[in-house]
Structure 1
Amino acid sequence: MPAYHSTFLAEDANSRIVGNFAVLPIKTKFKGPSLPCISEYDIIDEVLDLFRANTFFKNFEIKGPADRALIYGILFVSQCLNQLNQRVTKQEAVRELTNLSLDNFSVPGDVGFPLNSLYQPPRDRNESLFLRQYLTQFRQELSARLIERLYHDDSSKASKYWMAFSRKKFMNKSL
């Protein structure tokens, strides 16, 4: 059974590409370079919808730049779940994941980036700065929406159906 790919592959021609990473529109309240999303469904929703299904796959055929954004998002959700433990309250989770999303992180082309074999580096310093700003906004919005899903039923503990995936590694990789 093949992995689930991004539905935004058709929009790759219309979106900005940095290296070979698609900079897709996000509906967000966080400040950043992302264009506003005109539809109800964006890449963040897709990452959260496909996370649990794609986590079981060790191989993933990349069909375009939107798939690279999906991979990055899935790996970041996995990192968020590893950061939390099941007994953390919603307020503590907000604090931890906000710090994680704003921490210094590597972008494609940096020495410490674990997926440099899959991602091309940005062409110049301006593109690298733009990608870092976009990924910061992407990570902030993704962690905020993840918290809403984790604590949908009870704000005192995370959903066991999400936390069960904290031990899984997508493609045997991590950020």
Structure 2
Amino acid sequence: MPAYHSALNEEPDVRQVGNMSILPIKSKFRGPAPQAEPSQADIIDETLDLFRANSLFRNFEIKGPADRLLIVIILFVSDCLAKIGTSRTVPSKIEATKSLNTLAVDNFPVPGDATFALNSHYAPPGSRADADYLRTYLVQVRQELAARLVEILYADGSGKPSKWWMSFQKRRFMSRSLAT
């Protein structure tokens, strides 16, 4: 059974940095990301929908530039779940929000950096300006994803994260992690 790929691979007129798409997102955070239509699903919605199914796969065939972005975001979701799961006590929704927002804005490698885990599958940005643009775009995507993930994890109102979602904290998509 093949992994699930992004439906946004065939989007026309999408900017690319290296060989990764810069897709529009619905965001309440400031950043360079283009604004998506509020009625349509964006790459973050797609990632949250496909995360649990794709995290079971060890291999993933990249079919387009949106798949490269999907991989980076799925790996970040794994890191978020691991961060929440390794807390000494079960974090409240507010504590989880603070923790994941800090994780989202922490310094992280982008394609082309020596410490980026998947450099063999990604082209480096063409210039320093493109690398900076990609980093700020990914910070905005990570912040928005962290906010939406907390809403999903604590949706039942019990004050504890969803056991169903937390059961994926030790699963590693493609046996990789973005954490250094």
What range is the shorter-chain TM-score in?
A: over 0.9
Query: Corresponding residue for 1:36?
Result: 35
Q: Which of 131, 135, 144 is the equivalent residue of 1:132?
A: 135
Q: TM-score, normalised by structure 2?
A: 0.94
Q: How many residues align?
A: 174
Once the two structures are superposed, the pairs formed by residues 3-18 of structure 1 within 5 Å of their partners are: 3-11=3-11, 13-18=12-17
CA contact (8 A) 1:90 1:155 kept: no
For 2:104, the equivalent position in structure 1 comes to 101
Mapped partners of 2:40, 2:9: distance in 1: 17
Change (3 A) 1:166 1:103: same
Distance in 1 between the 2:92 and 2:108 partners?
25
Q: For residue 146 of structure 1, what is the amino acid of its counterpart?
A: L
Task: Write the deviation string for residues 38-82 of structure 1: whole angstroms up to 9, x where unpaired.
Answer: 242000000000000000000000000000011011000000000
Q: Distance in 2 between matches of 1:103 and 1:157?
A: 25
Q: Within 5 A, what are the aligned runs for 1:2-151? A: 2-11=2-11, 13-38=12-37, 39-85=39-85, 87-151=90-154
Report the residue type matching 1:56 in the other structure: L
Q: What is the CA-CA distance between 1:114 and the residue it aligns to?
A: 0.6
SS of alignment partner, residue 46 of structure 1: helix
1:156 is displaced (CA, Å) by 1.4
Question: Partner letter of residue 163 of structure 1?
Answer: M
Please tell me whether the aligned partners of residues 8 and 43 of structure 1 are also in contact (alpha carbons under 8 angstroms).
yes
Distance 1:148 1:123, change over 3 A: same
Counterpart residue number, 1:170: 173
Residue 155 of structure 1 and its aligned partner are, at CA, apart by 5.0
State how far apart, in whole Å, the 1-side matches of 2:45 and 2:119 are: 25
Percent of aligned pairs sharing the same letter: 57
Q: Secondary structure at the match of 1:166?
A: coil
Distance 2:159 2:14 in 1: 40
Deviation >6 Å, runs of 4+:
none
Considering fraction of residues, name the structure with more helix.
1
One-letter code aligned to 2:95:
E
* Amino acid in the other structure paired with 1:34: A
State the one-letter code of the partner of 1:149. I
1:88 offset after TM fit, Å? 1.1
Distance apart, 1:14 and its partner CA: 1.4
Summarize deviations over 1:7-65 as a string: whole Å, max 9, x none.
00110x41100000100000000000111102420000000000000000000000000
Please tell me whether residue 161 in structure 1 is matched to residue 164 in structure 2.
Answer: yes
